[in-house]
């Protein structure tokens, strides 16, 4: 009897050990994070996407993901890679600006400007490197900056004239990333593609060319899966595919009257700094003593909401930002904020309220640590960061996400099949050894 009890205790301990998810004893798998800029959550629903469909069977899918306010490329990508709200990481626009000096730097030129990205919050690359991992950024926003003097181990930056939709180059980039994993033992690579954002802006989300680029993305995912196999990474590499925001059709005359803000206030007289001709989101610094006048005038304009920074809704997670100017404007879905005349020629745009379904984006993941055939409820993109730390088995930096939201995507949570079969096997052994 004593012997049986001892055996039972040993077996119980073994069952517990097997069931422990991604413990330090488990081999650390590698992680590839891919972002397809501007991939709206439902872009795969009106076009044939066999490879994306297969991913749902072979991995996990979230019904959709909610990006942070601001639904723009740099702010949202930086929330994903830091797990911080925009008010904390302070990348508050695609353009770099200084509202005192009136400096404005276009998006692509910001990508190597550390003073725009490095605001005391450490992105995943740096936190992982500080814990002994090797990381790389392939065009991912923020990857080209230095953080507290540290650079990402390897960072490729998009050239100013980079062509975003070259399918051959997309495949070459995958081949390069695979060799980084298999030949150079990188642990984390973030890979960025500028589509379908460009097509969405230029032609609108309903244009046939948007469907074509989604099919190109789908073929690229098929290519990726083949490349993973060729490099023998199937049971070593986890892959997350996501994006930064959605896209909506811009409303134009004669359907609507476009917003021209100078109709409601004299911008030159009342404001010392502005970024207004940039989709659905605008910022403005009133001249001294003019804040209330600017606020009142903009409050009279239709199809937009004006906020004093101090009165921004808590849910925006923007009010604490030091960089944001005192006045923030958000246009209604599909309206663009034009300052003096219609300068913005886009057919599609983003930057609108993150509660709008058109701003929601995608999430797919597969690999050895992810469940199969699992569809999760929607979640905020801020929760992807603790998931990535868990996958890489590193201590996260302080962040605003919660692993409890995304942990259910992984094996070892909610009773995986591996855990059950181990328990079953050990119970049988117990029976054999203890049977009289």
Q: Which is nearer to Zn ion, 195 or 274 (CB)?
A: 195
Least separation in angstroms between residue 142's CB and Zn ion is 13
Residue nearest to Zn ion (CB): 73
Closest to 248 (Cα-Cα) out of 201, 198, 194, 302: 201
Q: Which is nearer to Zn ion, 35 or 118 (CB)?
A: 35
Closest to 401 (Cα-Cα) out of 421, 387, 415: 387
| Contact by Cβ (8 Å): 376, 56 | no
Q: Which is nearer to Zn ion, 88 or 349 (CB)?
A: 349
Q: Which is nearer to Zn ion, 96 or 265 (CB)?
A: 96
Exposure of 15 in the CB half-sphere (CA atoms within 13 A): 17
Residues forming beta bridges with residue 36, ordered by sequence position: 193
Least separation in angstroms between residue 360's CB and Zn ion is 13
Least separation in angstroms between residue 386's CB and Zn ion is 23
Phi, psi of 245 (to 5 degrees): -175, 170
Q: Which is nearer to Zn ion, 182 or 361 (CB)?
A: 361
Least separation in angstroms between residue 94's CB and Zn ion is 8
Cis peptide before 70 (omega within 30 of 0): yes
Q: Sign of torsion, CA 325 330 336 341?
A: negative
Least separation in angstroms between residue 348's CB and Zn ion is 11
Two tokens, residue 248: 């909506």
Least separation in angstroms between residue 418's CB and Zn ion is 37
- Whether 73 sits among the annotated catalytic residues: the reply is yes
Least separation in angstroms between residue 38's CB and Zn ion is 5
Two tokens, residue 31: 């992680």
Q: Which is nearer to Zn ion, 140 or 385 (CB)?
A: 140
Q: Which is nearer to Zn ion, 37 or 380 (CB)?
A: 37
Instruction: Report helix, strand and coil shares of the chain as percent, to nearest 5.
Output: 40, 20, 45
- Rg of the chain over Cα atoms, rounded to whole angstroms, equals 24
30/367 Cα distance (integer angstroms): 9
Give CA angle at 269 (94, 285), nearest 5°: 35
Least separation in angstroms between residue 162's CB and Zn ion is 15
Choosing from 73, 80, 220, 248, the catalytic residue is: 73
153-162 long-range contacts (CB < 8 A, ≥24 apart) are 153/125, 153/129, 153/186, 154/180, 154/186, 157/111, 157/112, 158/108, 158/111, 158/192, 158/194, 160/108, 160/109, 162/194
Q: Which is nearer to Zn ion, 94 or 173 (CB)?
A: 94
Q: Alpha carbon of 77 to those of 35, 193, 265, 359: distances in Å? A: 8, 12, 34, 14
Q: Sign of torsion, CA 202 41 385 417?
A: negative
Binding site for Zn ion (CB under 5 A): 37-38, 73, 197, 244
Catalytic residues: 73
């Amino acid at each position: 009897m004593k012997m049986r009890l001892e055996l039972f205790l040993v077996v119980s301990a073994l069952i517990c050990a097997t069931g422990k998810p991604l413990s330090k004893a488990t081999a650390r798998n590698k992680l590839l994070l891919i972002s397809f800029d501007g991939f709206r959550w439902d872009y795969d629903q009106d076009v044939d996407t066999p490879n994306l469909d297969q991913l749902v069977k072979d991995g996990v899918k979230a019904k959709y993901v909610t990006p942070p306010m601001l639904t723009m490329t740099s702010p949202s990508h930086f929330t994903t890679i830091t797990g911080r709200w925009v008010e904390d990481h302070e990348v508050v626009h695609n353009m770099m600006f200084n509202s005192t000096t009136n400096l404005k730097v276009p998006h692509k030129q910001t990508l190597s400007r550390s003073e725009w990205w490095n605001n005391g919050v450490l992105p995943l690359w740096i936190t992982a490197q500080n814990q002994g991992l090797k990381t790389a950024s392939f065009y991912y926003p923020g990857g080209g900056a230095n953080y507290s003097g540290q650079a990402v181990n390897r960072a490729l930056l998009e050239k100013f004239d980079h062509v975003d939709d070259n399918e051959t180059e997309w495949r070459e980039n995958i081949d390069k990333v695979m060799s980084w994993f298999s030949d150079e033992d990188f642990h984390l690579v973030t890979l960025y593609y500028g589509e379908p954002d460009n097509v969405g802006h230029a032609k609108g989300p309903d244009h046939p060319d948007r469907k074509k680029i989604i099919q190109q993305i789908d073929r690229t995912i098929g290519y990726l899966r083949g490349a993973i196999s060729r490099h023998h990474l199937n049971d070593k590499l986890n892959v997350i595919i996501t994006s930064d925001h959605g896209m909506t059709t811009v409303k134009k005359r004669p359907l609507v009257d476009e917003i021209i803000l100078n109709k409601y206030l004299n911008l030159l007289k009342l404001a010392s700094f502005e970024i207004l001709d940039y989709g659905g989101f605008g910022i403005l610094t009133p001249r001294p003593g003019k804040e209330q006048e600017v606020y009142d005038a903009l409050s009279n304009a239709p199809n937009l909401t004006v906020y004093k920074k101090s009165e921004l809704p808590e849910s925006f997670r923007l009010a604490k930002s030091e960089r944001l100017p005192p006045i923030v404007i958000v246009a209604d879905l599909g309206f663009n904020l034009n300052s003096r005349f219609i300068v913005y020629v886009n057919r599609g745009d983003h930057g609108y309220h993150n509660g709008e379904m058109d701003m929601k984006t995608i999430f797919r993941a597969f690999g050895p640590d992810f469940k199969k055939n699992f569809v999760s409820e929607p979640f905020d993109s801020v929760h992807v960061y603790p998931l990535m730390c868990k996958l890489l088995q590193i201590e996260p930096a302080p962040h605003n996400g919660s692993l409890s939201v995304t942990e259910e995507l992984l094996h070892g949570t909610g009773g995986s099949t591996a855990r059950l079969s181990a328990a079953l096997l050990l119970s049988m052994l117990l029976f054999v050894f203890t049977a009289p």
